[in-house]
A = this chain, B = another copy of it.
Amino acid sequence: MSEKIALTPATHTTPPAKFSHGVKKGNILQVAGQVGFLPAVEGQPPTPAGPTLREQTLQTFANVRAILEEGGATWDDVMMMRVYLTDVDHFAEMNEIYNAYFEEQGLNEAPAARTTVYVGLPKGLLIEIDALAVLS
């Protein structure tokens, strides 16, 4: 019997509704859809890291990672990454950024599975990512 706990990194903007940025229960950790918002600044609305796919993707990774760490997990624990892009033409560039990032992170276990689909996102946002992790 384990309790579900919210994972709320101090740097994160307040969710726009009654949901958690991440939750953990037993060995399952779920990260909510993250976008490229910079660390929260008191009194300011959420602001994307920049207009480019690169800026937003790297910030999104940082935001996912902060939630994993808050729950005692690392990228190695991630089973599935869901990547939502707004434009099929961004696929190749996203993959380059993705590969370089995870090369740098130095995974010890198999890379996570991934699904990438093309959807609508709020104006100005080019990427959203959520993740499912299973802790050891």
Contact = CB atoms under 8 A, between A and B. Distances in A.
Instruction: Categorize the interface residue count of chain A.
Output: 35 or more
A109 B3 CA distance: 8
B117 A17 contact: no
**Number of copies of this chain that the complex holds:** 3
A113 B22 CA distance: 5
A113 B23 contact: yes
A114 B82 CA distance: 12
Interface string A1-34: 1111110000000011111111101111011110
Interface of A: 1-6, 15-23, 25-28, 30-33, 76-77, 79-82, 84, 88, 91, 95, 98-99, 102-103, 109-123, 128, 130, 132, 134, 136
